[in-house]
């Protein structure tokens, strides 16, 4: 047993080559949960602020930054990495995440392979805090994958050749800025357009004046009249849109079911589908769901949601918040089984400290590295 553990530890440490910068940073942090010695899991975390390349405007809000917490989870010299990205509408903050992470006693767990027990404990400590919980889940998956010497897409038995193209998000903006954003998206094969304001048609027409790429639209609950929404979807289909995400408020269940029944395009639930129990509720209301790690507490529950959605004959998009390559690489492990991917959150920020999953000619391209596939780090940033 000891020789096997030593082999796994050596394998994991080899995979961490190039990560010494962030290891030093986490080791210097005084914000940690659990013992710093012994055989249990050691959790450390540091606050971080994501800087967006452009002002990010949705149907009901705008922002230039996103609060984030980066974490590490160590076991016998091997370290996994995770993060909690917390756009304001999630209701979480660096303060709330720090409080939650500080409350955890992960040093009680001496075997990281007991993932169900560990993550059930994390979920039970207090309600909510889904992004903070996701940070621990991601780090644990990264750690265990490194101990096993395999990436999670291989552990789950997924074929990396089956990954979809990722969309590139165009936020609501002026025509000049929209055209600039489209020009920056040249390497991507699908554009995701934020709608939900009075400028919806102008947004689409502006993009169509410079690009004929397939579009998907995310309304972020911005339409309130079902007939208007249906008329708009018919028009969007003529403009080359392939699906419509969260067109109406998540509370408008009957109206949304009617819209899905009559819509010529697939409808995808996002804000209305947070965690596993919501998948069954979405059947008959939407054609598919958008799974995001920050909503559902991480990779473990995301995998369960994917499996359930497929059993219900629903389509699946794997999505993201504005995130570093850490959470994007974690979500990408699920992408081979998804019809669509919206994994551009790391591309929308200017201070990504990690490198991981790649986008090659618009396609999500998984890396054959243990864990979630983080392979390098830019250390030229400050906390």
More confident residue, 158 or 22: 158
What is the rounded average pLDDT of the residues 65-76?
Answer: 94
What is the rounded average pLDDT of the residues 189-193?
Answer: 95
Distances (CA, A) of 204 to 53, 161, 163, 213, 262: 21, 32, 27, 12, 22
Rg (CA), the chain: 21
- The CB density around residue 61, as the number of other CB atoms within 10 Å, is 11
Q: How far apart are CA 361 and CA 150, in angstroms?
A: 25
The helix/strand/coil state of 42 is strand
**Where does residue 34 fall: left (phi above 0), alpha (psi -120 to 50 degrees), or beta otherwise?**
left
What is the rounded average pLDDT of the residues 303-327?
Answer: 97
Backbone dihedral angles phi then psi of residue 194, each to the nearest 5 degrees: -80, 130
Q: How far apart are CA 72 and CA 312, in angstroms?
A: 36
What token pair was written down for 242?
A: 């392939």
For the ranges 4-13, 75-84, 158-167, 186-195, which has the lowest average pLDDT? 4-13
What is the rounded average pLDDT of the residues 121-137?
Answer: 97
What is the rounded average pLDDT of the residues 42-48?
Answer: 95
Question: What's residue 377's pLDDT?
Answer: 65
Domains parsed from the chain with CATH numbers:
2-153 (3.30.390.10), 154-366 (3.20.20.120)
First to last CA, the chain: 40
Q: What's the CA angle centered on 281, arms 280 and 287, to 5 degrees? A: 80
Mean pLDDT of the chain: 89
CA dihedral 85, 89, 95, 98 (to 10 degrees): -40
Distances (CA, A) of 209 to 56, 182, 352: 22, 10, 32
Q: How far apart are CA 80 and CA 146, in angstroms?
A: 8
Question: Over pLDDT 90: what percentage of the chain?
Answer: 79
pLDDT at 86 over 60: yes
Q: How far apart are CA 174 and CA 162, in angstroms?
A: 36
What is the rounded average pLDDT of the residues 217-221?
Answer: 94
**Are 285 and 260 a contacting pair, CB within 8 Å?**
yes
- The CB density around residue 148, as the number of other CB atoms within 10 Å, is 17
Indicate the helix (H) or strand (E) that contains 191.
strand 190-194
C-beta pairs of 354-357 under 8 Å, 24+ apart in sequence: 354/81, 354/324, 354/325, 354/326, 354/329, 354/378, 355/325, 356/325, 356/326, 356/328, 356/329, 356/332, 357/325, 357/328, 357/329, 357/332
The helix/strand/coil state of 111 is coil
More confident residue, 376 or 333: 333
């Amino acid at each position: 047993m000891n020789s096997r553990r030593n082999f796994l530890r050596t394998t994991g440490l080899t995979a961490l080559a190039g990560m010494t910068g962030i290891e030093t940073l986490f080791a210097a942090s005084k914000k940690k949960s659990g013992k710093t010695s012994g055989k249990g899991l050691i959790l450390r975390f540091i606050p971080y602020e994501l800087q967006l390349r452009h002002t990010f405007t949705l149907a009901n809000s705008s922002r230039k930054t996103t609060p984030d917490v980066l974490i590490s989870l160590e076991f016998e010299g091997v370290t996994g990495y995770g993060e909690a990205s917390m756009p304001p509408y999630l209701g979480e903050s660096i303060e709330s995440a720090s409080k939650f992470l500080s409350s955890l006693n992960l040093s009680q767990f001496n075997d990281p392979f007991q993932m169900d027990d560990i993550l059930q404990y994390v979920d039970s400590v207090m309600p909510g805090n889904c992004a903070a919980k996701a940070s621990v889940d991601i780090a644990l998956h990264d750690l265990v994958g490194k101990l096993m010497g395999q990436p999670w897409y291989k552990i789950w038995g997924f074929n990396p050749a089956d990954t979809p193209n990722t969309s590139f998000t165009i936020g609501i903006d002026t025509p000049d800025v929209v055209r600039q954003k489209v020009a920056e998206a040249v390497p991507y094969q699908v554009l995701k357009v934020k709608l939900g304001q009075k400028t919806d048609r102008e947004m689409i027409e502006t993009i169509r004046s410079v690009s004929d790429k397939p579009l998907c639209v995310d309304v972020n609950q911005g339409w309130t009249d079902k007939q208007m929404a249906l008329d708009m979807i018919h028009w969007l289909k003529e403009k080359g849109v392939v699906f419509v995400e969260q067109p109406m408020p998540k509370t408008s269940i009957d109206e949304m079911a009617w819209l899905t029944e009559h819509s010529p395009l697939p409808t995808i639930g996002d804000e209305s589908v947070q965690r596993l129990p919501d998948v069954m509720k979405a059947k008959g209301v939407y054609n598919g769901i958008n799974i995001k790690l920050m909503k559902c507490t991480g990779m473990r529950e995301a995998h369960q949601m994917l499996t359930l959605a497929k059993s219900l004959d629903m389509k699946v998009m794997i999505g993201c918040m504005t995130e570093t390559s850490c959470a994007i690489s974690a979500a990408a492990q699920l992408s081979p089984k998804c019809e669509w991917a919206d994994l551009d959150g790391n591309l929308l920020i200017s201070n990504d400290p990690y490198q991981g999953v790649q986008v090659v000619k618009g396609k999500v391209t998984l890396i054959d590295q243990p864990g979630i596939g983080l392979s390098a780090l830019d250390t030229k940033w400050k906390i």
